[in-house]
Amino acid sequence: MRILRQGSDMETTIAPPAPVAAPSGPVGATKIQARNVNVFYDNKQALFGVNLDMADNAVTSLIGPSGCGKSTFLRCINRMNDTIPSARVEGEIIIDGENVNDKRIDPVLLRARVGMVFQKPNPFPKTIFENVAYGVRIHGLANSKSELEGIVERALKRAGLWAEVADRLHQSGTGLSGGQQQRLVIARAIAIEPEVILMDEPCSALDPIATARIEDLIDELRAQFCIVIVTHSMAQAARVSQRTAFFHLGRLVEDGPTEEIFTNPRDSRTHDYITGRFG
């Protein structure tokens, strides 16, 4: 990439960041299909005709500049946009052949199938145990106290947190560090055995060490879930995802295997964003 310094005739060449190979491994069949998805907030259109397939047992990263529609699209998958009075969604989001926008679909049950982890860790003001047990109780997934305890323990182990909290399960979850809180939130999400996990900038509020732990966890969890993650970090998208989709001004510009998007993008806008020309 070449840029011209303001107030100077000196031209400087900046090398694009070296891509990092995404984790290898089998990618499952298509789990989610987005077909001609349009989103409006009142009279303003935020997404334009998005068509995107997301695979099971894989991580799909959504990248693009701020305000390009990544998080809006993510919220379409579990109908979180329903909670915004001015929002209107058109098109289809199909999970295992079923359109989630069908009026017969109960959003509460949908969100049990499609868990979500937000940008800022948001543990409930409850104990560590009750944070993880909450959804299990709500959905009636445990028939006894011992079964509930087993589910909580398994979820915390899968989230890589059990060894750190096993002796303080009845202390407040808000007393954990930021990285631990985010893993607690992930444990809460996977305790109810969802099929899909959505993550909206899950590491943006964390330090590099906590970020590395979450990225390792994401790579482990993809063997069991379809994961879709919004991230502003090019390096993170390259590290954790098998497929990447680039959004710009509310439109899906292109998508494909992560290595291809980062090394040989088809669209000049993707190349310019990845190499830092804008964004």
φ and ψ of 263, to 5 deg? -110, -25
Instruction: Spell 53-67 as b/e; 16+ CB within 10 A means b.
Output: bbbbbbbbbbbbeee
Q: Where are the domains of the chain?
A: 30-274
What's the average model confidence in pLDDT over 155-167?
97
Judged against a pLDDT cut of 50, whether residue 2 lies above it is answered with: no
> What span, in angstroms and rounded, lies between the C-alpha atoms of 154 and 147?
11
Mean pLDDT of the chain: 91
Amino acid at 103: K
> What span, in angstroms and rounded, lies between the C-alpha atoms of 235 and 3?
22
pLDDT of residue 28: 81
User: What is the tens place of the pLDDT at every residue in 205-241?
Assistant: 899 999 999 999 999 999 999 999 999 999 999 999 9
User: Cβ of 130: how many Cβ atoms within 10 Å?
Assistant: 18
φ and ψ of 59, to 5 deg? -110, 125
Rounded to the nearest angstrom, the gap between the alpha carbon of residue 256 and the centroid of all alpha carbons in its chain is 17
Judged against a pLDDT cut of 50, whether residue 8 lies above it is answered with: no
Rounded to the nearest angstrom, the gap between the alpha carbon of residue 113 and the centroid of all alpha carbons in its chain is 14
More confident residue, 19 or 100: 100
Architecture of domain 30-274 in this structure: 3-Layer(aba) Sandwich (3.40)
Residues 6+ away with beta carbon under 8 Å from 11: 2, 3, 4, 5
> What span, in angstroms and rounded, lies between the C-alpha atoms of 5 and 166?
56
Amino acid at 132: V
Residue 30, classed as helix, strand or coil, is: strand
User: What is the tens place of the pLDDT at every residue in 35-53?
Assistant: 999 999 999 999 999 999 9
Q: Which two tokens stand for residue 201?
A: 């900038």
pLDDT of residue 38: 98
> What span, in angstroms and rounded, lies between the C-alpha atoms of 88 and 81?
8
> What span, in angstroms and rounded, lies between the C-alpha atoms of 4 and 11?
5
Judged against a pLDDT cut of 70, whether residue 24 lies above it is answered with: no
pLDDT of residue 5: 33
Judged against a pLDDT cut of 90, whether residue 10 lies above it is answered with: no
pLDDT of residue 37: 98
